[in-house]
Every structure is written in structure tokens, then in C-alpha cells.
Amino acid sequence: MNSEINNFISKDVDVLGMVVSGSLTNGVEVKLKPERSVSEIKVGRYVSIEAENLKFFGVVTDIELGATDQTLRVNPPEISNPFIANVISGSTAYGIIQVEPMLILSQDDLDSIYGPQPAKTIPPHFSKVSLASDEDVETVFGLESDTNFWLGNPLDMDTAKLCLNIEELIKRSNGVFGKSGTGKTFLTRLLLLGIIQRGVASQLVFDMQSEYGWKGFSEDSKEVKGLKQIFSSKVAIFSLDEESSRRRGVNPDYVVRIGYEDIEPGDISVLKETLNLSEVAADAAYSLERYFGPNNWFKEFLALSGGEEFIDLARNLNINQAALSSLKNRLSRFKRFDFIDESGGNDSVTQILSYLDRGMHVILEFGRYGSDLAAYMLVANLLTRRIYARYAVFAEKALGDPTQQPTPLVITIEEAHKFLSPDIASQTIFGTIAREMRKHNVTLLVVDQRPSGIDDEIMSQLGTKITCLLDNEKDLDSVLTGVSGNRKLRSVLSRLESKQQALIFGHSVPMPMVIKVRDYGTATSYGDFQIEDTKFNFDEDNEDLFGKKL
């Protein structure tokens, strides 16, 4: 049989089609080969484009149906005849994919040592477009290593591993977003696990629902191991609610107690919206602090009986009596929190820091207080403010003596929009950390389902954003603002599957990547983490056992 028919018959499994048009700003248009169906290609799939002496690496951003004859729409052919349907599809009616060339992989051995470079040009007409191979993915995203953590696989590429450079990731604050039930918690747990495994930072996790420490539950109510069960010697569980911890079979390493003297007016300002306080009422806390003194104001204020005494105080502070009364009512709620102790706290900050100093990871479980946003925000803000202040001191010391550099710290907060909304982002310590980046070696991992509620400036400072499915327009805008090619990423993002898929873009990845998040919760997955841990921490363990190499 002649080569022409052979060419037609032979199906090169990887070749998709050829570049037929495009621009640097809009990406290139690829006409699919007749035997390729649009339905076999998904948005977010990686492709490689072979140009004359360059190889481009790109991502499918859109899929279209084209026709050589515009009357096809009004007079469709007789597709009930399978032969006609077979002929028409791929010829008169064909598929088009839009590809965004993201990187150039050099074919030259000498140049390849610089790694993939951002694509500043586009492939010429008729360049061959193929599905990216596992090797291409490895070249772009790197192999698993002591800094690269395997987070998942590319779409439809189960054998290729997508790795995240954890060392780069923790250099800036990052965000995990996605609407409820899309796997944010699983993804966050994996990231926390990656940071623990690679040993590049200590972590403080404000575990609202108590699902990271000892155990969590999957969507189908299956129990999954928490970080403490996998890395028992590296993770410490702190608890605000010892009773709840013990009920869940967890033996906390430390029970956190907060004294009245620990609470500062700034902690109350953050709770303005949550406690439904007016501006005047929230600001009254500062006047109270001045009046009663920094350590006593909270205790003295709550101890006021009311009546004449209260009226006098309002008059002395020149504050509306109703505002002061509303502040007292709201703050009285804190008396119900068992972890707040009138007689004084137990210096939890020092305890947390002592664990962090040892390179351990602290997970603070909230137990029954996890459902009380005011409690969560109060504690997270209060502890972080103090820890950050200590880190600032460490960082200053390190300026004089670089060997004193503190271990980088990553603080994980959930419901981040409550801490970082435009109204209060400038007042909370989290806003400061996010803006200052890693000035004092402290960064954030914010987890949220409503990124549109977070201040724009903070969003723009997040280094890497890991986003599960989002379908709210405002949330999509918020996550993608300032990202190049955001129109295309938007279409990718809104079409993610509702589970186990995420789009990652930003500082620590060479290009936006869509991943199928790796499994977590099966015996095999736990085994993989332990094998990786042994593999990548061998040197560290060796040093622990036999001392540092001279």
C-alpha cells in the first residue's frame, strides 16, 4: 500500500496536529489531525511543540470546533450514515485547540543547563504539536529530590510526577483556595507534609477543625491519618480543648492556656466584624488599655459591675456609654472559653517557640472552639503576633551574626479572609506577615474558600497560589488578578474537576500547572511518604546518629 494511505492509516499516538495561527499574547491555534477527536483532549493538558530548533512546552487553554464550510451549521451532513460521519469529522468539521506556549526547552545540550526559559516567541506555522511526554514534564518541573516534593500528576499523565520546589515555596506567603468540598484540606495536608518531609521550615498550623494533627476524614467519611501519625517525632499537637482531644484519642503534647493579660486591644480590633462591634466600640479597647494599663485592662473591664461605675468610666474615657456597654457584652463571651484563664496563661508562646526552635512542627487543635470563629481568630492572631515579635528579634540578631538565622517558619491559617479582609488586613499580624514577605523568616500559608474576601494587596503578595475549583466570578478575579494570561487560566480554573484537581501558579513553579493531586489516605500513599522520608532525609538522620561530617 502506498505511503500516503499508510500515513493516513498509521496513528502516531502522541501527535495532535499542527500550529495554524497565533500570537504571543493570545497563544497559538492548533488544528487537530483528522483522526484526533476534541473529546480526547482536556483543558490543562500539557503539550510540546517542535519548532525548527526549539521545543516549546505549553498548556491547552481552550478547545473549539471548526468547519471549512460555514453552511455546516444550517445544513449538517447526514451523520446518521456512519461513513459520512467518519469522513466529515476531522476534515470538513475539525477540532482546534488553543495552546499557550509557556516555556522553551532548549534542544541544545549546552543551553539546556540553564533549564526551561520563558517563551518570548511563538512556534512558526505548521509546527508539530504533540502530547507532552513524561520526560518533558520532568525537564520542566524537575524530578523528586530533597527540595522537590511530588504533589501530583499532570492531567491524563498518570506516570509523570509533578513536583513542587518546597524550598522556593516557603520563601513567600502562599495561598490554597477552592470552594467547599474541593479538597483544600487534603491539598493543604499534603503541602504541610511536604514541608515536614523536606525539613526546610518549621510550621505552626492553626487547625480550626482539628483535622491535620492526629486524624481527619475524607468526603466519604473515611478516616485518614494526620501528620502526627506519619511523622510522630517531628510533629507536636497543641490543644485548646484537652477534653475534645482526649475524646478523639489524641494525647496532646501541650494544652494552651491564655491569660487575660495576654489579650491586647489589637486582638479585639480584628474581631470587630466577627463580634459585630462598631468602630467606636472596637477602638474603646485602646482607651481602656491606656486607662487600666496594658496587663490589666481586660480583667478590670470585665470585672466592672455596671451602674454608676460604668457611667463614670464612659465619662472619663469620653466614650459613648452604649458603645462601651456593647464592647463589654461581646467580650464577656470570652469568659465561656475554658482556654482563657483569668488567673493567667501558661506562656504558650514560649512553649510553641521551643518546639519550633527544635525544627518541630506545631499543630494547634481548637477542638470544640473550632466552630467559634471569634475564638479561632483571637487565638491565631494573639499567638502569631507574639511569635512574630520574637522572630523579629531573632532576625535582628541574625543581621549581626548570620549563623543565628532562625529556622524559617510557615504559619497556616484557615478562613483567611476573616483575617485578611480589606478592612482589617492592615491591623492584623497576618496582613503584616503577608506584606513583608520573608523579612523575618516567617511566611503564611492561607487556606480559604472565598479569596475575593481577602485584601487585593495581600493577594498580590502571595507567591504561589494553589487553587482548586472556584466558580464564583469575584473569587476567580481575585485569584487571577495580575497573573499573565489570566483569561486563559480562568477557563482552566473554572473547569477543574470538583475533586483532587488544582491549578498551581506563581513563584515556585516555572509555569501554571494543573495537577491531579496525589492520593492520600490509602496504605500505599502512607507507605510512599515514609519511603520518601527515608530517601530524602538520609543525610539528616545520618548526621543525627553520627554527627556532622567534618
User: Smallest distance, Å, CB 5 to other proteins?
Assistant: 6
Q: Under the criterion CB under 8 A, does residue 10 sit at the interface with other proteins?
A: no
Q: Under the criterion CB under 8 A, does residue 4 sit at the interface with other proteins?
A: yes
Quick one: which of 2, 180, 221, 318 contacts other proteins (CB under 8 A)? 2
275-294: which residues touch other proteins (CB under 8 A)? none
Q: Please state, in angstroms and rounded to a whole number, the distance separating the CA atoms of residues 100 and 61.
A: 7
Quick one: which of 66, 77, 506, 510 contacts other proteins (CB under 8 A)? 77
The answer to whether the CB of 486 falls within 8 A of the CB of 195 is: no
Q: Under the criterion CB under 8 A, does residue 27 sit at the interface with other proteins?
A: no
| Residue spans of alpha helices (H) in 437-504 | 456-461, 473-480, 486-493
Q: Under the criterion CB under 8 A, does residue 96 sit at the interface with other proteins?
A: no
Q: Under the criterion CB under 8 A, does residue 90 sit at the interface with other proteins?
A: yes
DSSP code at position 483:
-
User: Smallest distance, Å, CB 35 to other proteins?
Assistant: 9
Number of residues that bind other proteins (CB under 8 A): 23
Return the range that interacts with other proteins (CB under 8 A); candidates 3-11, 279-287, 297-305, 386-394. 3-11
- What are phi and psi for residue 541, nearest 5 degrees? -65, -40
* Residue among 83 and 114 whose Cβ is closer to other proteins: 83
* Residue among 86 and 354 whose Cβ is closer to other proteins: 86
Q: Under the criterion CB under 8 A, does residue 34 sit at the interface with other proteins?
A: yes
DSSP symbols for 506-520? ETTSSS-EEEEEPP-
Grid cell in block for residue 146: 530533597
Q: Under the criterion CB under 8 A, does residue 78 sit at the interface with other proteins?
A: yes
- What are phi and psi for residue 260, nearest 5 degrees? -60, -35
Return the range that interacts with other proteins (CB under 8 A); candidates 72-80, 105-113, 124-132, 214-222. 72-80
Q: Under the criterion CB under 8 A, does residue 68 sit at the interface with other proteins?
A: yes
Quick one: which of 92, 274, 278, 351 contacts other proteins (CB under 8 A)? 92
* Residue among 91 and 426 whose Cβ is closer to other proteins: 91
Q: Please state, in angstroms and rounded to a whole number, the distance separating the CA atoms of residues 352 and 385.
A: 13
Query: What Rg, from alpha-carbon coordinates, does the chain have?
Result: 28
Residue 328, C-beta contacts closer than 8 angstroms, at least 6 positions apart: 301, 302, 304, 310
DSSP symbols for 106-125? ESSTTGGGG--EE--S-PPT
The answer to whether the CB of 306 falls within 8 A of the CB of 321 is: no
Return the range that interacts with other proteins (CB under 8 A); candidates 58-66, 83-91, 194-202, 323-331. 83-91
Name the β-bridge partners of 60. Answer: 99
Q: Under the criterion CB under 8 A, does residue 305 sit at the interface with other proteins?
A: no
Q: Under the criterion CB under 8 A, does residue 80 sit at the interface with other proteins?
A: no
* Residue among 4 and 220 whose Cβ is closer to other proteins: 4
Name the β-bridge partners of 64. Answer: 96
* Residues 540-550 as b or e (16 or more Cβ within 10 Å = b): eeeeeeeeeee
CA dihedral 342, 373, 359, 153 (to 10 degrees): 170
User: Smallest distance, Å, CB 4 to other proteins?
Assistant: 5
Give strand ranges (E) for 72-182: 93-106, 117-118, 128-131, 148-154, 162-165, 174-177
Q: Under the criterion CB under 8 A, does residue 66 sit at the interface with other proteins?
A: no
User: Smallest distance, Å, CB 23 to other proteins?
Assistant: 25
Name the β-bridge partners of 206. Answer: 364
Q: Under the criterion CB under 8 A, does residue 75 sit at the interface with other proteins?
A: yes
* Residue among 89 and 202 whose Cβ is closer to other proteins: 89
Q: Under the criterion CB under 8 A, does residue 322 sit at the interface with other proteins?
A: no
First to last CA, the chain: 70
* Residue among 8 and 217 whose Cβ is closer to other proteins: 8
Kindly list the residues in this chain that would bind other proteins in the complex (CB under 8 A).
1-2, 4-5, 8-9, 34, 68-69, 71-72, 75, 77-78, 81, 83-84, 86-88, 90-92
